[in-house]
Amino acid sequence: MDFKFLVDTFFVALSGVPIALIITIISLLIALPLGFMLALTRINKIPVLQRFAQVYVSFIRGTPVIVQIFIVYSSVPLLLTSLFEKYHIDKNVYDINPIWYAFIVFSINTTAIMIEIFRSAIGTVSKGQLEAAYSVGLTNVQAFRRIIIPQVLVTALPNICTATVNLIKATSLGYAMSLQEITLRAKVAANVGYNYVEAYLDIFLVYLILCSLVEYVFKRYEKRLSKYKTAHA
Amino acid sequence: MEKYFNASYIWESFPMLLPYVKVTFLVAGLSVLFGTILGFILAAMKLGSSRIARKIANGYITALRCTPSIVLLFLVYYGLPAIAENFGLLFDNVDKLVFIVITFSLQFAAAMAEVIRSAYQSIDKGQFEAAVSVGLSDFQAYRRIIFPQAFVVALPNFGNSLLELIKEGSLAYTIGLIDVMGKASLIIDGRFNAHALETYIALSVIYWVISIIIEQVFLKLEKIFSKGKQVIKTT
């Protein structure tokens, strides 16, 4: 056990945290509204979109993230090359920062999970709430923003927390797209002297700290939101 | 650059990949077996009266929940032989499968501990008391009254964890196991990295079908086992 290496690499691994967090936050920012919308299409049974959401969720939940990464990573460049050729854009596809692929993969993945979370959460809010909101003269947007969404969030939050932690964990697969995040940085550092045990111990610690922090933040927020919680009648 | 999409490669990949589904199921099956045993122990520790045991179980579950499978896999793959070396054991000849099964058992155990705990706690305490009061022994009460009810509650969560496990199991290819995922990357290497997309599409379809089948099986099982379920209406 090389303790100096252990300490040094810990900070190397730590330097990958911003990238992991950026991917997580961007993916959540895309997935939360999109997931909510698609969940509504399923609940309101909007013909084509409903079917689309169903197949989409089933596919994403039925395949490993790593396979999704490989599919996006090998299909998007193909699409882009033909697009660039068509419009004569002089840009090499292989110069694109892999973080863009990461945004695509993890947004697609998280959206599917959010659809499921919101679908079950919206189901817990009784229809009377919406009707009551309309009856006092709120518009559709107002009713959702002020009445429905706060209540949905209360029930959805623990699941969103789990999804976020899973998302952070999934960013460790970014190595497959040569994304410079926590795992890859520490692994590269370990390649020099074959100190893999120390490197993976560091990675393990970084993820443990990161995920514990995220869980803690969500717990705090959950407490703040719980004022919207309706007592069971 | 000769990169174009050719759907015939998707069809070609299926017969090559399908035989390796066995390996995927073997990994999943063994991990479920050991993971469930360890999960039971953890759940018992969590529900027990010893504070230290409860702390250990909680710590274990939190740590495992926060670790990406790939990190755990490599930690086990490199860490175990290193620990064993200190005791004078050599792990050089150990099959890769062993490390993979250990990894996913550890991970599945953490998930199962929570599943078992929540299932056990969902059963009303009165059920046990009633069983004992009609003269059943503790063991009989657990076996005949508590377990069948808790089982039904645990079933959907167990199914979800199993699906998760099969999907995470795909990462075993990173240390060189030839399961469906490993075979897919071999096929791609064999084609000199061309037509990777077609192979991955075939692979994703296989995983998709597996998970749909498992999902349906668990829905059926749930229906079969919940026939004795009586919902007590709380007014």
Sorted by where each begins, the domain ranges of chain B are 22-228
Please report where in the chains the tokens 């009713």 appear, as a residue: A143
Please report where in the chains the tokens 């996913």 appear, as a residue: B104
Selected residue with higher pLDDT from A163 and A91: A163
What is the identity of the amino acid at A123?
G
Q: Which two tokens stand for residue A216?
A: 């803690």
Residues in chain B: 235
Please report where in the chains the tokens 């790939």 appear, as a residue: B70
Given this model, what pLDDT does residue A14 score? 87
Q: What percent of chain A has pLDDT over 70?
A: 97
Q: How far apart are CA B137 and CA B158, in angstroms?
A: 28
CB B16 within 8 A of CB B183: yes
Whether residues B75 and A58 touch (CB distance < 8 A) is answered with no
| B172: CB partners within 8 A, 6+ apart | B27, B73, B96, B100, B179, B181, B182
Helix or strand run (H / E) with residue B182: helix B180-190
Q: What percent of chain B has pLDDT over 90?
A: 40
pTM: 0.86
Selected residue with higher pLDDT from B2 and B112: B112
| A199: CB partners within 8 A, 6+ apart | A9, A13, A186, A187, A189, A190
CB B66 within 8 A of CB A211: yes
Tell me which of A72, A183, A204 to substitute to probe the interface with B (most B C-beta atoms closer than 10 Å). A204
CA A106 to chain CA mean position, Å: 6
Residue A145 has pLDDT above 80, yes or no: yes
Whether residues A183 and B163 touch (CB distance < 8 A) is answered with no
Residue B83 has pLDDT above 50, yes or no: yes
| A19: CB partners within 8 A, 6+ apart | A99, A171, A174, A179, A180, A181, A182
Residue A198: which pLDDT band, with cuts at 50, 70 and 90? Answer: confident
Question: Nearest residue on chain A to B3, judged by CA atoms?
Answer: A78
Tell me which of A105, A117, A169 to substitute to probe the interface with B (most B C-beta atoms closer than 10 Å). A169
Q: What digits encode the pLDDT tens for the residues A100-131?
A: 889 999 999 999 999 999 998 988 888 888 88
Tell me which of B197, B201, B219 to substitute to probe the interface with A (most A C-beta atoms closer than 10 Å). B197
Instruction: Report chain B residues whose CB lies below 8 A from the CB of A71.
Output: 197, 200-201, 204
Residue B220 has pLDDT above 50, yes or no: yes
Q: Which two tokens stand for residue B44?
A: 């018992």
Residue A83 has pLDDT above 80, yes or no: yes
Whether residues B68 and A172 touch (CB distance < 8 A) is answered with yes
Instruction: Report chain B residues whose CB lies below 8 A from the CB of A189.
Output: none
Selected residue with higher pLDDT from B191 and A53: A53
Topology of the domain comprising B22-228? MetI-like fold (1.10.3720)
Q: How far apart are CA B218 and CA B225, in angstroms?
A: 10
| B82 has a chain A CB within 8 A of its CB | yes
| A6: CB partners within 8 A, 6+ apart | A198, A201, A202
Q: How far apart are CA B60 and CA B40, in angstroms?
A: 14
Mean pLDDT, range B13-33, rounded to an integer: 90
Residues in chain A: 233
Q: How far apart are CA B39 and CA B137, in angstroms?
A: 25
CB A13 within 8 A of CB A185: yes
Q: Within a 13 Å sphere around the CA of B54, how many CA atoms are in the beta-carbon half?
A: 7
Q: Which two tokens stand for residue A5?
A: 């290496």
| A221: CB partners within 8 A, 6+ apart | A157
Given this model, what pLDDT does residue B227 score? 73
Q: What stretches of B48-95 show up as alpha helix (H) in DSSP?
A: 51-65, 69-86
Selected residue with higher pLDDT from B166 and A193: B166
- Domains contained in chain A, CATH given: 17-179 (1.10.3720.10)
Selected residue with higher pLDDT from B212 and B96: B212
| B11: CB partners within 8 A, 6+ apart | B202
Q: What digits encode the pLDDT tens for the residues B174-197?
A: 888 888 888 888 888 887 777 788
Of A58, A66, A78, which is closest to B170 when you measure between CB atoms?
Answer: A66
Helix or strand run (H / E) with residue B193: none
Nearest partner of B160 among B202, B193, B131, B118, judged by Cα? B118
